[in-house]
Chains A and B, each alone.
Chain A
Amino acid sequence: MGSYIPSTGEERQEMLKTIGLSSMDQLYDVVPEEVRLHSLDIPEGMSEMEVSRHMEELAGKNHVFRSVFRGAGAYRHYIPAIVKSVTGKEEFLTAYTPYQAEISQGVLQSIFEYQTQMCELTGMDVSNASVYDGASAAAEAVLMCQERKRSRVIISGTANPQVIETVKTYCGSRNVPVTVIPAREYSTDPGELKNALTEDTAAVYIQSPNYYGVIEDMESLIPVIHESGAKAVMGVNPISLGLLKTPGELGADIAVGEGQPLGMPVAFGGPYLGFMTCRQAMMRRLPGRIVGETTDKEGRRCFVLTLQAREQHIRREKASSNICSNEALCAMTASVYLAAMGPQGLYRAAESCAAHARYLAAELGKLGFHILSGERPFFHEFLTDCPVDSGKLLAALAKQDILGGLPVDGGILWCCTECNSKADIDRLVSIVKEVCGK
């Protein structure tokens, strides 16, 4: 049996004596006897070597594909070695939320740096210290826009379905009505948006690049939202912002997204990182921790958790969000990633994603796969029809250690990142060719 208790049996007896007891059992005398548990029905404990084997066995039952052409909300990017070495430092790993600023400057400064980077990336004024993931970030963002006479939330049907579901849950429990506007040719239709907008609409959530990879025409959509008096919440892929126009440039009020591509492994869905940035005017509505710069008594620059009166531990039932723990270490991961990549590196990653996706689309096009969103610009994902049975195709790819695109709407949603080299794509295409009998 493993244990992390340092004290020996004798020491514990001594300690019991100090507090006037004679047995460990007496510590629980206050628990009513009829509910005292005398034996826990779980397996015996294990030594470190045994448990290590057990976990390796479980990990061994998973298959890690050599090459991955699937995204849909989780993206395999190259993770610089320094990212893992920094975030593995035990001080960062094991510290609690930095309540005691004097011994937490490391964590606080790293969050301040993260906030700055996210503002830069998205072109916004203010960032929080993170929320759970992209889906909960979207939900928190639309709830930030609630006003006395405006509560309705509109979501474009081109958003990631898991984000839509999460927003519906969060809004549903607060009796906030949600309208999902249908997609037209896999992008947001300005006409449908106009029809859906009402006087009581608080926020509209549009994701770009959207679930189908399409870069939405935000420059036309956001003015429509603002004309109605509602706030525009834009969901973005952070890597794309190395190349594409920022939510700030496009006029969004709030930018949110899934930060996983910024140095986090796909890891079966988590931990990931929800990032949230907004305009100055909405600063006090941002949920979650926020770090600010100040000075100590001797005038030295330092950092603290600030604007805390927004938060649950002070505002209790009147707080706009209940978030307490966030994803601090993931925020640090993103921060180290962005620093390691630098502006050129991030541009190169974004460019490489887009270029590989185009190359794959062109090659698949030659084999009769049509992009279902037509001529609309896309970033690193695209949805094609599938001239052969998609199950058969994906199985053939899996056999060659390739995770193909995700079956969506009868077609396949493909994704490329900088990790999918030309050689990888050529290999995939040759297998597809075979399955298609060409």
Chain B
Amino acid sequence: MKLLFERSRKGRQCCILPPCDVETAAFDESLLRKAPLHLPEISEVDLGRHYTELAKQTHGVNDGFYPLGSCTMKYNPRIDEEAAALPGFTGIHPLQEPESVQGAMEVLYETEQLLKEITGMDAMTFQPAAGAHGEYTGLLLIRSYHLHNGNKERNKIIVPDSAHGTNPASASMAGFEVISVKSDENGGVDLDALRAAVGPDTAGLMLTNPNTVGLFDPNILKITEIVHQAGGLCYYDGANLNAVMGHVRPGDLGFDCVHLNLHKTFAAPHGGGGPGSGPVGCKEFLTQFMPAPLVKKEEDHFEFFVPENSMGRVKSFYGNFLVVVKALTYIRTLGKEGIPEASAGAVLNANYLMKKLSGVYDMAFDTLCMHEFVMTLQRQAHEKGVTAMDVAKRLLDFGIHPPTMYFPLIVHEALMVEPTETESPETLDEAAGIFLKIMEEADTDPESLHQAPHSCPIGRPDEVTAARKPVLRYQF
């Protein structure tokens, strides 16, 4: 496929702007750009076709089943997009006087009320732009709290070894030392290891529950108690909230703060890697440290305010506002019954698909799962030389986006499958059939698996050369 720059022809252009209707500015020559500017010179029709062609080489949620574990690739409702495209939302400047943006402030306020109820928290900020950004913000709440109380020595964050990479990275960015604790044989937090890890230097614990192997930790109340007793706080990574929303709330499990991924749980699209939105909620005693500004309701209007001991800002303005609009549209659509129904549906679909695959595929943990499950290809890798990567790549030939590969790190040859609630039983049946067929191929024609995919625009890329001799831009 040609690059934009290879389609460029000197002198072509789209006709966008009128000629300037006032005298042009006379800048001193020394201020002006001398470097050539190689932007594409391209007609509108060629530009349009370029992206249509690129779109055809992109697998979106509407292109087929997308069971990418930990990413909650559910259907993105069109009405959410339509709401976010309303000129009353897209056309307002973030620094307009509050009286002219009451609707936008109400969006933030209303979404905050809904998410407070869903998480069991007392306040919510929408400033963080993504999950990792939310983690960082939540950890800064914990840091601010300990510093405020004069407990400078509480500088360690405990993270299970099954955690997403963002957890330790966020903790380290927030100035903490990371203590990794091992998981028990069921994939949960090892209580003895946790007890051994906590102490007077514990700032807190970061936990995903259900965890990254798709299991709800049955010891969860014990876990948060151990951390609290040691003087630490508990941080809930909302990556997997889609399993439990409406059934159990992080706030009731002993968590003090939480981040959510509106682009996972609340159906906002991922945009090929963003924009997301990672709002952070916390209990009352932490609200004083929240990023500024927050929105409050005074009688019949909305106002911004700065929390008393605010950590400051983590981003410009109020976060990825339009993503919040999408999430609000979604939550209001589902409502009090639809929210728990969605998560139960996700859990049902995951268990159904797991059941269909077990026997042929080895489950890392063979028990009722939450919204996702982890399979291990270790046996097949050993016996047949067929790896998780091979299975994943072969799935591409059938129009299925592969599950998350090689994560969590505590499971070898892992494939992490998250079907989400928006798939029908026949889609799951069909997918199961394909997964099983691939395992048959592992016996009959393993070479074909090693060479997969066969029907994509490209075969497996040479990632080693890409990293050894990086070519990161087009050379003119």
Is B196 an interface position by the 8 A CB rule? Answer: no
Mask of B1-36 contacts with A, CB within 8 angstroms, 1/0: 101110000001110110111111101101111110
Given contacts A45-B338, A70-B95, A173-B173, contact A215 B54 (CB under 8 A): no
A-B contacts besides A55-B325, A292-B471, A342-B42, 8 pairs, CB < 8 Å: A41-B117, A103-B396, A243-B33, A292-B470, A327-B275, A328-B271, A338-B40, A339-B42
Cβ of A249 and Cβ of B33 under 8 Å apart? yes
Within 8 A of B (CB), among A372-408: 377, 394, 398, 403, 406
Stretch at the interface among A28-36, A149-157, A429-437: A28-36
Cβ of B32 and Cβ of A245 under 8 Å apart? yes
Stretch at the interface among B103-111, B227-235, B374-382, B434-442: B103-111
Q: Out of B35, B218, B273, B457, which one reaches A102, CB within 8 Å?
A: B457
Cβ of A103 and Cβ of B220 under 8 Å apart? no
B471 to chain A, nearest CB (A): 4
Is A22 an interface position by the 8 A CB rule? Answer: no
Q: Out of B24, B218, B247, B472, which one reaches A290, CB within 8 Å?
A: B472
- A5 contacts across to B, CB distance below 8 A: 341-342, 345, 421-422
* Distance of A352 Cα from B351 Cα, bound (Å): 60
A260 to chain B, nearest CB (A): 9
Mask of A121-147 contacts with B, CB within 8 angstroms, 1/0: 101011101101111100000000000
Q: Out of A219, A272, A293, which one reaches B471, CB within 8 Å?
A: A293
**Interface residue tally on B, bucketed by range:** 35 or more
Instruction: Name the CB-closest residue of A to B332.
Output: A51
Cβ of B81 and Cβ of A267 under 8 Å apart? no
Cβ of A103 and Cβ of B456 under 8 Å apart? yes
A34 to chain B, nearest CB (A): 8
Is A228 an interface position by the 8 A CB rule? Answer: no
* Distance of A11 Cα from B428 Cα, bound (Å): 12
Q: Out of B3, B17, B328, which one reaches A349, CB within 8 Å?
A: B17
- B136 contacts across to A, CB distance below 8 A: 173, 322
* Distance of A362 Cα from B471 Cα, bound (Å): 48
Cβ of B79 and Cβ of A52 under 8 Å apart? yes
* Distance of A211 Cα from B463 Cα, bound (Å): 42
Cβ of A266 and Cβ of B91 under 8 Å apart? yes
Instruction: Name the CB-closest residue of B to A23.
Output: B344
Instruction: Name the CB-closest residue of B to A117.
Output: B39
Given contacts A102-B396, A175-B175, A245-B31, contact A43 B335 (CB under 8 A): yes
* Distance of A36 Cα from B460 Cα, bound (Å): 46
Is A281 an interface position by the 8 A CB rule? Answer: no
Q: Out of B58, B90, B100, B472, which one reaches A95, CB within 8 Å?
A: B58
A145 to chain B, nearest CB (A): 15
Is A323 an interface position by the 8 A CB rule? Answer: yes
* Distance of A251 Cα from B451 Cα, bound (Å): 47
Cβ of A95 and Cβ of B95 under 8 Å apart? no
- A41 contacts across to B, CB distance below 8 A: 117, 336
* Distance of A11 Cα from B340 Cα, bound (Å): 18
Within 8 A of B (CB), among A21-76: 24, 27-32, 35-37, 39-46, 48, 51-52, 54-65, 68, 70, 72-74, 76
B262 to chain A, nearest CB (A): 11
Stretch at the interface among A83-91, A179-187, A188-196, A198-206: A83-91
* Distance of A272 Cα from B277 Cα, bound (Å): 12
- B347 contacts across to A, CB distance below 8 A: 27-28
Within 8 A of A (CB), among B51-77: 51-63, 66, 68, 71, 73-77
Cβ of B92 and Cβ of A312 under 8 Å apart? no
Is B368 an interface position by the 8 A CB rule? Answer: yes
21 A-B residue pairs with CB within 8 Å: A18-B355, A32-B220, A35-B252, A44-B336, A45-B336, A51-B79, A90-B60, A90-B62, A96-B68, A96-B272, A106-B56, A169-B313, A173-B175, A249-B34, A294-B471, A298-B459, A317-B171, A322-B170, A342-B14, A342-B40, A418-B17
Given contacts A16-B348, A174-B175, A345-B13, contact A56 B86 (CB under 8 A): yes
- B168 contacts across to A, CB distance below 8 A: 312, 316-317
In this complex, the member of A46, A74, A269, A335 whose beta carbon has the largest number of chain B beta carbons within 10 angstroms is: A269
B423 to chain A, nearest CB (A): 7
A245 to chain B, nearest CB (A): 5
A296 to chain B, nearest CB (A): 4
Cβ of A1 and Cβ of B335 under 8 Å apart? yes
Cβ of A325 and Cβ of B263 under 8 Å apart? yes
Given contacts A95-B58, A312-B165, A343-B39, contact A62 B102 (CB under 8 A): yes
* Distance of A306 Cα from B270 Cα, bound (Å): 20
Given contacts A31-B247, A93-B76, A271-B320, contact A340 B473 (CB under 8 A): no
Q: Out of B54, B63, B104, B333, which one reaches A45, CB within 8 Å?
A: B333
B23 to chain A, nearest CB (A): 6
Cβ of B270 and Cβ of A421 under 8 Å apart? no
* Distance of A28 Cα from B348 Cα, bound (Å): 10
- B204 contacts across to A, CB distance below 8 A: none
Is B410 an interface position by the 8 A CB rule? Answer: no
Cβ of B102 and Cβ of A61 under 8 Å apart? yes
Is B425 an interface position by the 8 A CB rule? Answer: yes
* Distance of A354 Cα from B422 Cα, bound (Å): 50
Cβ of B316 and Cβ of A51 under 8 Å apart? no
Given contacts A104-B58, A126-B473, contact A268 B317 (CB under 8 A): yes
Given contacts A37-B249, A90-B62, A322-B136, contact A132 B129 (CB under 8 A): yes
Give 9 closest A-B pairs by Cβ, nearest first: A45-B335, A269-B317, A59-B88, A61-B103, A329-B271, A106-B58, A271-B275, A328-B273, A269-B94
* Distance of A437 Cα from B341 Cα, bound (Å): 64
Cβ of A352 and Cβ of B38 under 8 Å apart? no
B6 to chain A, nearest CB (A): 10
Instruction: Name the CB-closest residue of A to B66.
Output: A96
Mask of A317-340 contacts with B, CB within 8 angstroms, 1/0: 111011111111110100110111
- A133 contacts across to B, CB distance below 8 A: 129, 315-316
Is B150 an interface position by the 8 A CB rule? Answer: no
Is B449 an interface position by the 8 A CB rule? Answer: no
* Distance of A163 Cα from B314 Cα, bound (Å): 9
Is A282 an interface position by the 8 A CB rule? Answer: no
- B140 contacts across to A, CB distance below 8 A: 169, 173
* Distance of A340 Cα from B354 Cα, bound (Å): 47
* Distance of A422 Cα from B132 Cα, bound (Å): 45
B76 to chain A, nearest CB (A): 5
Given contacts A42-B118, A82-B47, A316-B165, contact A116 B30 (CB under 8 A): no
Cβ of B175 and Cβ of A267 under 8 Å apart? no
